[in-house]
Amino acid sequence: MWVVKARVRHDCVIGNRCQKYKVQTIGGPFSIYVKNGKTFAPQLQTIYGKEENIQNFIDDLKKDLRVHKLEHQGNSIFFVEERKDKIPSSFYEPKLVFAKPVVVDTQGYEYWELASWEKENLTTFVNLLQHHFKEYKLLKMQKSKLKDVYFQHLSPDLTFYQKQALQTAIQEGYYNYPRKTELRKLAQLMKISLATYREHLRKAEHKILPDLLAGLK
């Protein structure tokens, strides 16, 4: 498998605010689709920084007309970004795999790390980034074993119930847009209370993210 890592900065609903409020996010889109020339990117982001800065970030994001369906719990936000202009998500396609979620640092730089069995798929992606964004840098392009891919590497750290909660959410379309289910129904499928299911899912979401800060090095 081939892995590419690239850094890019552009007019971004997340990156602009990371720079403004001195916070960092880890997350990325769950799916991307184009309709009537616009890119729609449903995504989950977890914000790291001072509590006051995180709240200011969220309050400001709510005012952005390019952001829809925003929900947040603590420092995690789920929303749909709508863009007429090109963004990195515009060039993502099913032949690519997220080796790690996207990291955005306090300077507004995005770090994309993707994998594919065919090098050409990654080359196409980075060429599009380079063509559309002035602040772009290729950090690596190399072969990597499957164990280095993000979810495979971190999933053993989840407890049985955390894995089950996350897998159930994915399988039932909780992260799709529009959502195909709700937390209460997922809890019923696992035959546990809503509060218990929410806690398992929250811990799973947060547990698979922390070591991605190393992606900035």
Question: Band of the pLDDT at 177, cuts 50, 70, 90?
Answer: low
Of residues 153 and 35, the one with the higher pLDDT is: 35
Q: Tell me: the pLDDT tens digits for 10-24?
A: 999 999 999 999 999
Nearest by Cα to 13 from 103, 98, 116, 87:
87
Give me the pLDDT at residue 13, please. Answer: 95
pLDDT tens, position by position, 58-99: 999 999 999 999 998 878 899 999 999 888 988 988 888 888
Other Cβ atoms within 10 Å of 26 Cβ, number: 23
- What pLDDT score does 147 carry? 54
In a 3-state reduction of DSSP, which class is residue 40? strand
Q: Which amino acid is at 216?
A: L
List, for residues 98-150, the tens digit of each pLDDT value: 888 899 999 999 999 999 999 999 999 999 999 999 999 999 999 977 555 55
> How many Å apart are CA 206 and CA 212, to the nearest integer?
11
pLDDT at 94: 82
